[in-house]
Each structure stands twice: as C-alpha cells, then as structure tokens.
Amino acid sequence: MSFQQAPPVDEVIEALRSAPLDQDADGRALLPSAGVDPSRPVGKGNPPRLRRRGKVAPRPTAMEVERRIAEAQLWIAQRMPLLRIYENAGASWGVTNTRTVRSYLDAARQRMVEDLISNRLEHQAQHIYALYDCARRAMDAEQFSAAVGAFRVIAEIGGILRGPIKSPELRG
C-alpha cells in the first residue's frame, strides 16, 4: 500500500473555487449559453440584450417636467450640493439617472438666465431697493462706512459709477 500525500488545504480550496459548476464526461467546463443562436451571424440582435431589471418610471407629463424644472431652479438658487440634488431628485421624482438629473438642471439654469435677461430692470430695481434699506439701517446704527459702500454699489448697479472710487495717486 502506498499512500499519496494529500495536497495542502489551500490548494484544494482554490481548486474548488475555480472549478466550473458543470462538467461534461471528459471534465471540461459546461459554460452557460450566452443566448447565441448558431444559425444566425453574431451581431446587434444576436446574442439578445438583457432586459432592464426592475420597474422603469413612466415618462413624465409636460406639467410634471415644468414642476421638476421649477424645483431644480429652487435647488440651484439654494446653492445645494450636486450630490444632495441627486438624492432629492431620486426621492422627489423617482429619477436616479444622473444624466437625466443633469438635463433638468441645465434646463433650469437656462430658464434662470432667460428670466434674468428679460427682467433685468426689475431685478436691478429690487436690488437697489434692498440696498437703500441696508444703507438706511447702517446710518441708523451709525455704521457710515457700510452705508457709503451700499450707496457705491447702488451707483454701480444704476450705471452712474463705472470704476473704482480711489484716485490714481492712491493706487500707486
């Protein structure tokens, strides 16, 4: 009787891990079929593509798209981080595809720019009114440098002041 020495345990475990699930009579691996039809040439429909798993959200209505763009504008105005926007879009809209969320964000940014351009005078008036209120409060609190700064910004917005206030002698 001759006893053969058993291979180390690590080699046995590795052989079991790398062994195929099914083998033919000769010990060759039987790999699962990829769905290739041998009678047809391999191409676009051969092998067939795997179908998406899970539910695909239905396409949104035009009103839903407008609501999503408005919500994206709000998130942009709040300076929300992009990762948080992705999370909110997934929770609120059921959209997890980042490319889709980015397309909504692009549309929201474009709308914000168009709104700013079309209502430029209205935006200027709102900012000037807010700065006058700021300057009045600064003068009431005897913070005159802050009031002067607010008036300088008002002049810049109104187009009265184009350059810095400092004289050329002080710049040098």
Q: Per residue in 25-80, pLDDT tens?
A: 676 656 555 555 566 666 666 666 556 566 666 778 888 899 999 999 999 999 99
Q: Domain residues for 95?
A: 62-118
pLDDT beyond 90 at 115: no
User: Please, what is the average pLDDT of the chain?
Assistant: 78
Within a domain: residue 130?
A: yes
Within a domain: residue 49?
A: no
Q: Give yes or no: residues 125 and 96 share one domain.
A: no
Within a domain: residue 70?
A: yes
pLDDT band at 122 (very low <50, low <70, confident <90, very high): confident
Within a domain: residue 26?
A: no
How far apart are the C-alpha atoms of 43 and 145, rounded to whole Å? 74
Q: Give yes or no: residues 157 and 135 share one domain.
A: yes
Q: Give yes or no: residues 127 and 155 share one domain.
A: yes
Task: Give the number of domains in the chain.
Answer: 2
- DSSP class of residue 46? B
The helix/strand/coil state of 43 is: strand
Q: Give yes or no: residues 69 and 87 share one domain.
A: yes
Q: What percent of the chain has pLDDT over 70?
A: 59
Within a domain: residue 56?
A: no
Contacts of 147 (CB under 8 A, 6+ apart): 135, 136, 138, 139
pLDDT beyond 80 at 160: no
pLDDT for 124 = 84
Within a domain: residue 29?
A: no
How far apart are the C-alpha atoms of 130 and 153, rounded to whole Å? 11
pLDDT for 125 = 87
